[in-house]
Chain A
Amino acid sequence: MTDHKHYYQAMFLLDNQEVRQKGFNEVRDWVRRTLEKHAISVPVLRLWGEREMTYRVGTRGRATYLLGWLEAAGNSINEAKRELYLVGPVFRCLFLEEAAIPEDELALGIPAIADHELVIPEEGAETDDESDDFSAREEEKVAVGSEEENDG
């Protein structure tokens, strides 16, 4: 195996439920420890955002996106990816080889996020609204139907 180092940009999709339970900093540290276990150097690992996904992945409609810039050698990325998918809060990840780590990204490093800075909306919030709308529409239909019966 070659010892030649490569630079990678990585994006991790984190399960919102676990981020909410354990806290973002702990989940991020778990990802960092897992990568470092496979001899991957992690100079940058930061929150990219929490957003709604354009399609559902399993039962999840939203995810917390974690962006990292890594330095790794040989087959370590594949080994780390295998472990990330097997256990832990990461349900999807992407590694892209890059020529170098940008200076502005290196300056960010691994910042800690205060708990109040990352607000994760409840997953079922939208569906509850939809069900309310549905039940309201059903009630309207019933009311209209009963009026028609009365007219007839």
Chain B
Amino acid sequence: MAKKESRHFDFKDVEGLQVYMTSQGLLLPAKRSGLNAREQRRLKRAIKQARFLALLPYTA
């Protein structure tokens, strides 16, 4: 059986990251995002990088 490829997240892909955020600018929990633990960590890192560069809000 082919192994499912792990997802990567880029801080520059603002629209792609916003899919995993609530309307208040918070990161969705893994239970709702449907990502595994490694992907969830990558997503968290990318969102924090985008927030630092003012591409995403800390709070909305």
Give the contact-size bracket for chain B: 10 to 19
How far in angstroms is the closest Cβ of chain B from A66?
11
Tell me whether chain A's interface is mostly helix, strand or loop, or mixed.
Answer: strand
Do A94 and B54 touch across chains, with their CB atoms under 8 A apart? no
Q: Name the residue in A13, A55, A57, A96 with the highest tally of chain B Cβ atoms < 10 Å from its Cβ.
A: A55
Tell me which residues across on chain B come within 8 A of A48, comparing CB atoms: 12
Contact with A along B8-32 (1 / 0, CB 8 A): 0001100000000000000000000
Do B58 and A92 touch across chains, with their CB atoms under 8 A apart? no
Do A54 and B52 touch across chains, with their CB atoms under 8 A apart? no
Do B12 and A54 touch across chains, with their CB atoms under 8 A apart? no
Do A55 and B53 touch across chains, with their CB atoms under 8 A apart? no
How far in angstroms is the closest Cβ of chain B from A144?
33
Tell me which residues across on chain A come within 8 A of B53, comparing CB atoms: 11, 13, 65, 92, 94
The answer to the question of A53 belonging to the interface, with a C-beta cut-off of 8 Å to chain B, is yes
How far is B51's CA from A48's CA once the two chains are assembled, in angstroms? Answer: 17
Do B12 and A53 touch across chains, with their CB atoms under 8 A apart? no
Tell me which residues across on chain B come within 8 A of A57, comparing CB atoms: 54
Tell me which residues across on chain A come within 8 A of B58, comparing CB atoms: 55
The answer to the question of B34 belonging to the interface, with a C-beta cut-off of 8 Å to chain A, is no
Tell me which residues across on chain B come within 8 A of A31, comparing CB atoms: none
The answer to the question of A63 belonging to the interface, with a C-beta cut-off of 8 Å to chain B, is yes
Do A53 and B54 touch across chains, with their CB atoms under 8 A apart? yes
Minimal Cβ-Cβ distance residue in A for B58: A55
How far is B55's CA from A11's CA once the two chains are assembled, in angstroms? Answer: 11
The answer to the question of B56 belonging to the interface, with a C-beta cut-off of 8 Å to chain A, is yes
Do A54 and B57 touch across chains, with their CB atoms under 8 A apart? yes
Known: A54-B57, A55-B58. 10 other contacts (CB 8 A): A11-B11, A11-B12, A11-B53, A13-B54, A53-B54, A53-B55, A54-B54, A54-B56, A92-B53, A94-B53
